[in-house]
Structure 1
Amino acid sequence: MKRNFDTLVLGAGAAGLLCAIEAGKRGGRIAVLEHADRVGKKILISGGGRCNFTNIYCQPENFISANEHFAKSALARYTPADFIALVEKHRIPYHEKTLGQLFCDRSAEDITELLESECRAARAQIFLQSRIREVQRTTEFLVRTEAGEFRAPALVVATGGLSIPKMGATPFGYQLARQFGLKIVETRPALVPFVLADKDRGRYCDLAGLSTEVLARTNHHSFREKMLITHRGLSGPAILQISSYWEKGQSIQIDLAPQREITAVIRASKVRSIGTAQKAFHGILPKRLAERWLENHAPATWTNDAL
């Protein structure tokens, strides 16, 4: 069966659905093709299942791009306030967690339902389980899928990145871009946790689930947010953010007591001992992390130079 549209959108994630909504509002006949059995699978796991759907302080400089002007244009045309208005239109309760990050009070499903509802209102059609077999272009685009053929003069590729293959991520979008001669920026991991070496994993990873505020730095960038110890290493907002700026061979500095003088109590004490250090550390770090850090890193002599 052949179907004709004005625009074909490949991918029913956040970007694809929002694109379909805005294109549909302009009167076009829109089709969204998705290989999975439901829309927005990555949306559903974002923000711990509550979807951190925007940040009220979002600025172009927060984005890493080969073309810095793209982020300026995109954010000027569709702002965080625009999406917040859409969330409020659908009466979805939300809250600011920290640093301008907005999360749903209930579930990320509120956001996928919002996007599906807006697609229906814009008369954008969503075709699930439509795995793409071939894309051709002559006078218009022809997309052959397991569900039939689709034609349109405009094609939007919103198939997402390579992260989380078990959620259906594939390199299809990159392959398609190469097919049509588009420039591809070499991909590398970003917004990812760090895996500790065996030695440090043995020291700390039994503390999995413990978190604390840190200042993570590398390559002239820094983030002050929570760090989470996992079964394999380090994660949490500070680590995920700094990972995007880290390059192989570079070091990462993690300040466990940002803007706090952790040695003041020790220096003021007449007796410098592990007990004095524990007292100082317990006021700043979670107790178990403080004790473990001292076990592994306490100086042999409690001198000012050692501290």
Structure 2
Amino acid sequence: MPDTLPEFFDVIVIGAGAAGLMCAATAGQRGRRVLVLDHANKVGKKILMSGGGRCNFTNLKVEPTHYLSANHHFCISALRRYTSADFIELVDRYALEYHEKTLGQLFCNHRAKDVLNILLAECELGGVQIETRCVVHQVSALSEQSADCQSADCSSARYRLHTARGVVYCESLVVATGGLSIPTLGSSGFGYDLARQFGLAVTDLQAALVPFVLNGEWLARVQALAGVALPVEVSCQKQSFREALLFTHKGLSGPAILQISSYWKPGEKVTIDLLPGESLVEQLQAWQKEGRKAELKTLLAQRLPKRLVQVWLDLPGLQTLASKPLAELSKVDIQILADAFHAWPCWPAGTEGYKTAEVTLGGVSTDAISSKTFEAKTQPGLFFIGEVLDVTGWLGGYNFQWAWASGWCAGQYV
């Protein structure tokens, strides 16, 4: 690794994650001289830890409706120009072994590093120079101050970067710094600060795809259920997801909770159906007709985890019903029981925050960015891609597909 960098590059990408590496490889293979800078000690850290180390690298069913943004139309162009089929074609060329899990999610058979190695191989084909442990201290547009670049190529330079290994210039500067999620991997607000420096708006930011925390009596109840998982349907803000829920020592997690967390705002209620697709009213009435003599908790344990049934039947208002013989339950009693299991009203105390969030909701306002080139409309040569933008995907490979699509599209124009 050189102590200082060459003076000029056609393209400098800040951030060696999924979007940054994709953009660098694409631009490099167009013949552009590309430098990727990252302050971390190694590239692609988020790729390596994703999907439990197997990287859910895309989804077979990617639609714009799977993304949240203040401008719901912004993502359409890129997702159409670089689809999940395009990325699958790329990994197929490298003979990556992968499999489909539920809901169209594609995972590596072996390890996430296989996807990272493909990106690095593509960068190598494009002659991309990648430098880690290289902090960017300052970025300046050359219109703001006189250029002192001595390279013969510098006539096209538009940006000057002060880095840990010297000053470097570029014509196109790509910000692929990600969001605030998982700070232990080196995330920071650098990309947002850079956007603001050049007069671009940044929307409100919050942790997303993140577990909920509970407090008070409900925390004590769910702690007794820690480790219990079951399929549920969770709803908030007219949005619903039917996936698994996991009770934890802090509150609620699992895919269903992570999904709905992107739609939840502090103070709002989340409604959870613990028996999605079933009717507890019909089931209880059927058991009555059959003359079942077993206790209610025993019968319900046929449909739900035993520990969950015990905790739920101990809730205020249900204790007396739980002790009644099944035959003595009235229609009102049955409806009360059904509501308790089908429509649990939960008020989260908050989320676990950025330390465990998979993504950051919000980001650089897409109003300021071209949906075709990803260049800032008011700042020529400055591009923003990936998670740093106000485009947030659902759980299930959608955020990686956004990284591939936005990186590839910007790579055509830098």
Equivalent residues in 2 for 1:1-307 (5 A)?
1=4, 2-138=6-142, 140-270=158-288, 275-279=295-299, 281-296=300-315, 298-301=318-321, 302-305=329-332, 306-307=336-337
What amino acid is aligned across from residue 296 of structure 1 in structure 2?
Answer: L
Give, in angstroms, the shift of residue 274 of structure 1.
7.9
- Partners of 2:308 and 2:165 lie apart in 1 by 54
Instruction: With the length of structure 2 as denominator, give the TM-score of the two structures.
Output: 0.70
Instruction: With the length of structure 1 as denominator, give the TM-score of the two structures.
Output: 0.94
What amino acid is aligned across from residue 313 of structure 2 in structure 1?
Answer: L
Give, in angstroms, the shift of residue 64 of structure 1.
0.6
Mapped contact 1:266–1:277 kept (Cα < 8 A):
no
Give, in angstroms, the shift of residue 265 of structure 1.
3.3
- Partners of 2:287 and 2:255 lie apart in 1 by 35
Coordinate RMSD, CA, aligned: 1.8
Give, in angstroms, the shift of residue 44 of structure 1.
1.3
Give, in angstroms, the shift of residue 120 of structure 1.
0.7
What amino acid is aligned across from residue 266 of structure 1 in structure 2?
Answer: L
Mapped contact 1:4–1:150 kept (Cα < 8 A):
yes
Mapped contact 1:195–1:232 kept (Cα < 8 A):
yes
Alignment deviations for residues 182-230 of structure 1 (CA, whole Å, 9 cap, x no partner):
1111112211110011322211224333211111101111111111122
- Partners of 1:246 and 1:100 lie apart in 2 by 24
Consecutive unaligned residues in structure 2, runs of 5 or more? 144-157, 322-328, 338-414
Q: Which has the greater radius of gyration?
A: 2
Alignment deviations for residues 128-181 of structure 1 (CA, whole Å, 9 cap, x no partner):
100111111115111111122221111010000011111111111111111111
Larger relative CO (CA 8 A, sep 6+): 1 or 2? 2
Matched length: 306
- Partners of 1:6 and 1:23 lie apart in 2 by 9
Percent identity over the alignment? 48
Consecutive unaligned residues in structure 1, runs of 5 or more? none
Mapped contact 2:297–2:309 kept (Cα < 8 A):
no
Residues 300 and 97 (structure 1), Cα distance of their counterparts in 2 relative to 1, 3 Å cut: same
Give, in angstroms, the shift of residue 48 of structure 1.
1.3
Alignment deviations for residues 19-73 of structure 1 (CA, whole Å, 9 cap, x no partner):
1111112111111100001111111111111111111111011111122222101
